[in-house]
């Protein structure tokens, strides 16, 4: 028991006092844009498969104060499946790129955990925060097995106070998963899964209960 008390006391010295702040809860809605998750061909006109622009809904909790916050969130969306590239042609002319989308082809639930710090306050008004987090995404499609991929993300958020216990928040994030949400067996022959980038935008309402 003495060792446990000493360990907890040491943690209290290491963890900044800013962590011992308030709990906040937020609800968000946004969208995301993905890079190619599978590619075929080796030239500039290669064909790509990618998840396509889901609308996302999320909930987030944070603990801390203005100087440091620990943050966790969960989001859900239904991306489409897009095929992007140049169709085959029998002429020597350069063919135009096409985009074919199957709506709501996937279900994706993402969980993130990390922290944020302030980087700029505009004349005692809006506050700009920078955040980094680890991300776990679970992808599934009707009739297919679920696939879980892990990665990381960083972003910026602008907060505007709406009252003593309420704020509006605009978020921009860039995420990366080394593994593709697609398995090799999920894509046609000649295509290979690729690591995937994600760009996200969202707006949220945050309250301090």
Q: How far apart are CA 165 and CA 97, in angstroms?
A: 49
pLDDT tens by residue, 42-83? 554 578 999 999 999 999 999 997 789 999 999 999 999 999
pLDDT tens by residue, 120-179? 988 778 999 999 999 999 999 887 889 999 999 999 999 999 988 999 999 999 999 999
pTM for the model stands at: 0.81
Residues 6+ apart with CB under 8 A from 9: none
pLDDT given for residue 115 in this prediction: 97
Do the beta carbons of residue 155 and residue 201 sit within 8 Å? no
Architecture of domain 26-35+54-79+106-207 in CATH? Beta Barrel (2.40)
């Amino acid at each position: 028991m003495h060792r446990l008390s000493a360990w907890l006391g040491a943690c209290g010295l290491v963890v900044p006092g800013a962590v011992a702040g308030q709990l906040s809860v937020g609800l968000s809605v946004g969208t995301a844009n993905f890079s190619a998750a599978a590619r075929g061909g080796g030239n500039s006109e290669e064909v790509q498969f990618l998840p396509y622009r889901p609308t996302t809904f999320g909930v987030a909790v944070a603990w801390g104060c203005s100087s440091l916050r620990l943050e966790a969130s969960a989001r859900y969306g239904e991306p489409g499946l897009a095929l992007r590239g140049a169709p085959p042609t029998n002429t020597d002319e350069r063919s135009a790129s096409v985009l074919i989308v199957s709506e709501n082809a996937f279900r994706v639930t993402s969980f993130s955990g990390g922290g944020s710090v302030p980087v700029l306050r505009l004349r005692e008004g809006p506050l700009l925060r920078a955040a980094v987090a680890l991300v776990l995404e679970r992808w599934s499609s009707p009739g297919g097995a679920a696939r879980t991929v892990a990665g990381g993300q960083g972003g910026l958020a602008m907060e505007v106070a709406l009252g003593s216990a309420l704020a509006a928040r605009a978020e921009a994030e860039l995420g990366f998963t080394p593994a593709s949400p697609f398995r090799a067996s999920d894509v046609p022959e000649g295509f290979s899964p690729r690591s995937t980038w994600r760009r996200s935008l969202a707006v949220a309402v945050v309250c301090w209960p």
